[in-house]
Amino acid sequence: MHLPGGTLGCLLALETPFDAVRLVFHVNRAEPWRIAAASVAVAARERDDTDPVDADDRALPFTPVSFDSRGTDAPADAPSGTRRSLDMPASAEEAIFALAFSDWVPLASIPRAEGGGDGRPLLVCRVYAPGGLWAGGGASLVAPDGWPAEHEGRLLRAVASPRGDFTATAFNAAARPSRWHLPAIVQYRARRPGATVLAVGDSLAQGVVTANGDRFAWGHYATAAISTRARPVAFVNGGCAGQPSRNYLRNGRTDLDLLRPDIVTIAVWSPNDPKAAAATDVAWQAVLDFARHARSCGAVPILATAVPFNLRPERDALRQANNARARALAASGAILLADLDAALADPAAPASVRAPFRAPAGNHLSIAGYREAGAAAAPVIARALAALGLGCGGPPA
């Protein structure tokens, strides 16, 4: 989403205490744009305006973010620099993104005031772009229905001010809540060992509910359900709304190669794919190639079956074909499977999602549907963690 020039701020709750962070941005626009300044800050309390404060509600300082690496993936031990801006280049293919990184910023989290300091530590991010911002839509949005504090995780709220640079100061009265956020991803050096899960797929992986920016990814529900203080589990939303499997798998490989998750879930088919059996065969082979590449990167792949989309019978047969292949491969013991289709499909009408799990528009899941999909995926992700030696008690001694 293109927003007018100004400052976009967001408040996040990270999975575990941290000592350094860096910001990650998607590069996928047809025209270049410029980040003129960015900053980060720790906070002890949540505020609707996302301004950083301590436990007594006193203002805390911002730390400038540098871009001496000019967007490249610099080593974690590279020192922070003095370059305060980043020119985001134009992309030849809008559907295919690259990743641009800030430098690593030394920043130590502080205890959270709520819950006696046991809640997830808070991070504030600010990005200023006077010529306009290309922002993500709630790709990490927290569910609105009262998760426990220790699982609030991820993006709590976002605020935008259409005028001025507020990367070093509190927002002014013009700031308003926003459905859009920057950066796309936050990486952090955690004080406790844990795991990261990447979800690769289309809008069903991204968590689209409506066209206005609501995102409630099932991967958030799944990882929040199994993340603990002893074994934190973070989530990267690699869903690409509106994209066929060939595109979301290309983008997923970028995420996989640069972010190095421990586990990756892979959607086995998309209704955005071409309407031909041969294309479904090609998509299946691409999924298998992706799973093999994930293993070569040290990640555990998990196949995710495609959920119903109220398709015509001949189109739904293509979905069912790749779902059947995924189930057969999982039954052989060759790979793990999150069977979202089995969890959500209406037994009386297998080409449809059960009514409580269907979004009002009919083409996506409701919030309850994403929650149910997360519940189905959580035990499979837990099995993958165990395979990595990261069981519920944390990593082995």
* Domain boundaries of the chain, sorted by first residue: 2-189, 193-387
pLDDT, residue 13, reads 87
pLDDT-derived band at 228, boundaries 50, 70, 90: confident
Element (H, E) at 372: helix 367-387
If you average pLDDT over each of 38-47, 109-118, 215-224, which comes out highest?
38-47
Nearest 5°: the CA angle 336, 262, 74 is 150
Q: How far apart are CA 142 and CA 145, in angstroms?
A: 9
Rounded to 10°, the helix 218-226/367-387 angle is 50
Q: 193-387, what's its fold?
A: Rossmann fold (3.40.50)
**What does the alpha-carbon distance between residue 306 and residue 326 come to, in Å, rounded to a whole number?**
10
Most confident of 24-38, 192-206, 317-331: 317-331
**Whole-number percent of the chain with pLDDT over 90:** 57
Residues 119, 150 contacting (CB under 8 angstroms): yes
CB-CB neighbours of 19 under 10 Å: 13
Whether the pLDDT of residue 371 is over 60: the answer is: yes
Pair 50, 159: CB distance under 8 Å = yes
Q: pLDDT-derived band of residue 396, with 50, 70 and 90 as boundaries?
A: very low
pLDDT of 151 reads: 35
Convert the pLDDT of each residue in 233-260 to its tens digit: 989 989 998 999 999 999 999 999 999 9
From the list 223, 257, 231, the residue with the least C-alpha distance to 151 is 223
Q: Indicate whether 360 pLDDT > 70.
A: yes
**Model's pTM, two decimal places?**
0.91
Average pLDDT over residues 131-156: 49
